Amino acid sequence: DGGITQSPKYLFRKEGQNVTLSCEQNLNHDAMYWYRQDPGQGLRLIYYSQIVNDFQKGDIAEGYSVSREKKESFPLTVTSAQKNPTAFYLCASSDTRLAPRSSYNEQFFGPGTRLTVL
Amino acid sequence: GQNIDQPTEMTATEGAIVQINCTYQTSGFNGLFWYQQHAGEAPTFLSYNVLDGLEEKGRFSSFLSRSKGYSYLLLKELQMKDSASYLCAVRSGAGNNRKLIWGLGTSLAVNP
């Protein structure tokens, strides 16, 4: 079955530690995205990548880093510089090719990782 | 600037019809999406509009007016499982800067 996986579902870390969240997709999508969701704040874009070995900062990139060495994988590192890292992190992917009528290049989301920093 | 507005909360009764509005001001426009998100879960795609008019998909319909920067999601024959947050998102940008601009979501409570 094709889809996006994120692991783990729940993650606990001590303050000051870096932590890496994994995101893997087997949908053959070129584009991948990382969002952060806090209660009442909607989805905020952290980083995105339209192609392997290239990525752009989103609206709240400070304190985060990413890599895109493989098409299938887009890991996110939450560094100790991120002041309020406790949040629900969502990874998504989408196709970027010209879409036929039946496809809209919509973003497909992984199940999310809930990170709590103690 | 880029801005998407939706009502924060709505309530409706099981079996009724509800309309969730979304207005947007973005620097570019390449389609508008509606997603559904249940508490603690990931968003799931509901509908897409890029041309003016109504798109119908079972109990869900979505409307777009590009000249007014306006969309709505219409949910018919409401069921309890429709209680969720509904997110409006506009796709803007081009090439490597293509991304979605998200509204804050409308939390819909369906009462018996």
HEC readout, chain A: CCCEEEECCEEEECCCCCEEEEEEECCCCCEEEEEEEECCCEEEEEEEEEECCEEEECCCCCCEEECCCECCECCEEECCCCCCCCEEEEEEEECCCCCCCCCCCCCEECCCEEEEEC
Mean pLDDT of B95-102: 80
For the segment A50-61, the average pLDDT, to the nearest whole number, is 94
pLDDT confidence of residue B107:
96
> For residues A53 and A35, what is the distance between their CA atoms, to the nearest angstrom?
19
Provide mean pLDDT across the span B53-60: 94
Residue range A41-46: average pLDDT? 91
Give the span between the Cα atoms of B13 and A86, in whole angstroms: 35
Strand order, beta sheet including B60-65: B3-5, B18-25, B70-75, B60-65, B53-57
Residue of B nearest to A50 (CA): B96
Task: Name the residue of chain B whose CA is nearest to A38's CA.
Answer: B104
Contacts of residue B96 in chain A, CB cutoff 8 Å?
Answer: 50-51, 54, 56
**Averaged pLDDT, A58-81:** 96
Note whether A45 contacts B41, CB cutoff 8 Å.
no
Mean pLDDT, rounded, for A5-22 = 93
Q: What residues of A are in the B interface, CB distance below 8 Å?
A: 31, 33, 40-45, 48, 50-51, 54, 56, 58, 88, 90, 96, 104-112
Mean pLDDT of A4-14: 93
pLDDT at A102 over 70: no
- Asked if B48 and B36 touch (Cβ cutoff 8 Å), the reply is no
Higher-pLDDT residue of B98 and B84 is B84
Q: Give me the pLDDT at residue A42, please.
A: 87
pLDDT on residue A96: 80
* Test the A interface: residue of B44, B49, B100, B107 with most A CBs within 10 Å: B100
Distance CA B99, CA B102 (A): 10
Share the mean pLDDT of chain A: 91
What is the per-residue pLDDT for A85? 93
Q: Does B80 touch chain A (CB under 8 A)?
A: no
Kindly tell me if the per-residue pLDDT of A35 is higher than 70. Answer: yes
Q: Which amino acid is at B31?
A: G
Q: Over 80: is that where the pLDDT of A1 sits?
A: no
Higher local confidence (pLDDT), A105 or B91: B91
In single-letter form, the type of residue at position A69 comes to: E
CA distance B74 to B71: 10
| Model confidence at A50: pLDDT above 60 | yes
**pLDDT for B42 beyond 80:** yes
User: Tell me, what's the pLDDT at B27?
Assistant: 85
CB contact under 8 A, B100 and A107: yes
Q: Which residues on B lie below 8 Å from A107 (Cβ)? A: 33, 45, 100
Contact B104 A42 (CB under 8 A): yes
Which of B43, B96, B97 has its CB closest to that of A109? B43
Has residue A41 got a pLDDT over 70?
Answer: yes
